[in-house]
C-alpha cells in the first residue's frame, strides 16, 4: 500500500461503513489465510460496488477470487437476472468463498469456477459489461487479450495492483513489477480504449472499450 495509513483511516471514516458480512470475511481472511493483504478491503470494495451500481451490468467476469470479498462487492450492482463469473485456481479457498456467497444470498448471481483462468476464459460464451483482473501479475497482459473481444463496446476492464506497492517507479524491477509496468504501457498504447490509472490503494487501471 502506498497511501498514508492515516489518510486511509480518514477516508474509511467518511465512507459508507463496511457491511457486517464483509467485516467478518475481512477478519477471517486476515486470521486464517496467507497473503491476506490481497483482499480488496473496505475502500476498494466500496469503489467496486459503486462502479458496478453505476453500470448495472448483466454480466461481470472476475479473474482472481481469493476469498470472495471483491466478488461480493461487484455483485451488488448486477442488473436483474445478472450473473458474475469469478475464476480462481486455488480450490482450497472454495469452501470459504461459497460460505460467504450463501450468507449474502447471492448464490444465483455468483458462479465460482475453479481452474486455470487461461483455460477457463475461452470457454465462457458471454459478452461482459465489466471485467475485474486481480490475479497473478505475470499474466495480466494475457488475461487482457483473452477477455478483450468478450467485452461489449463501452464496457469496462478494471485491473488491480497496477502500482505494485510503488515498485513500478523503481529502476530495478523484479518479474512481477516488470509485468505490471509492461501491462500499463500496453494499455496506454492501446487506441481501442480510454484509460485512467486511479491511485486508490495499490492502483486501479480503469479501462473503457471504445
Task: State the residue for C-alpha cell 505475470.
Answer: 138
Q: Find out whether 156 and 119 touch, Cβ atoms under 8 Å.
A: no
Phi-psi region of 161 (alpha: psi -120 to 50; beta: other; left: phi over 0): left
Angle between the N-to-C axes of helices 41-55 and 5-13, in degrees from 0 to 180, rounded to the nearest 10: 50
Residues contacting residue 74 through CB under 8 Å, at least 6 positions apart: 48, 49, 52, 60, 62, 84, 130, 132
Alpha carbons 14 and 153: distance in angstroms, whole number: 34
**pLDDT score for 36:** 79
5-209 CATH fold: Rossmann fold (3.40.50)
**pLDDT score for 1:** 57
Q: Any bridge partners for residue 193, and if so which?
A: 209
* Residue spans per domain, the chain: 5-209
Strand runs (DSSP E) across 67-209, as ranges? 83-88, 110-114, 128-133, 151-160, 193-198, 204-209
Q: How many CB atoms lie within 10 A of CB 206?
A: 19
Mean pLDDT by 10 residues, the chain (210 residues): 82 95 94 84 94 98 97 97 97 95 95 97 98 96 98 98 90 90 97 96 94
Amino acid at each position: 500500500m502506498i497511501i498514508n495509513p492515516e489518510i486511509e483511516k480518514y477516508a474509511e471514516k467518511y465512507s459508507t461503513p463496511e457491511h457486517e458480512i464483509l467485516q467478518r470475511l475481512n477478519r477471517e481472511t486476515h486470521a486464517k489465510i496467507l497473503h491476506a493483504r490481497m483482499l480488496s478491503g473496505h475502500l476498494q470494495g466500496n469503489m467496486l460496488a459503486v462502479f458496478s451500481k453505476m453500470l448495472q451490468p448483466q454480466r461481470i467476469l472476475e479473474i482472481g477470487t481469493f476469498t470472495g470479498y471483491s466478488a461480493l462487492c461487484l455483485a451488488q450492482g448486477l442488473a436483474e437476472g445478472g450473473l458474475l463469473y469469478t475464476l480462481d485456481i486455488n480450490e482450497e479457498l472454495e469452501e470459504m468463498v461459497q460460505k460467504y456467497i450463501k450468507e449474502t444470498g447471492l448464490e444465483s448471481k455468483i458462479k465460482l469456477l475453479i481452474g486455470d483462468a487461461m483455460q477457463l476464459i475461452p470457454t465462457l460464451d458471454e459478452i461482459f459489461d465489466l471485467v475485474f483482473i486481480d490475479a497473478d501479475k505475470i499474466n495480466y497482459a494475457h488475461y487482457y487479450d483473452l477477455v478483450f473481444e468478450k467485452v461489449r463496446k463501452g464496457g469496462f476492464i478494471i485491473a488491480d495492483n497496477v502500482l505494485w506497492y510503488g515498485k513500478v517507479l523503481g529502476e530495478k524491477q523484479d518479474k512481477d513489477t516488470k509485468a505490471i509496468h509492461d501491462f500499463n504501457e500496453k494499455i496506454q498504447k492501446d487506441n481501442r480504449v480510454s484509460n485512467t490509472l486511479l491511485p486508490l490503494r495499490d492502483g486501479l487501471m480503469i479501462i473503457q472499450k471504445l
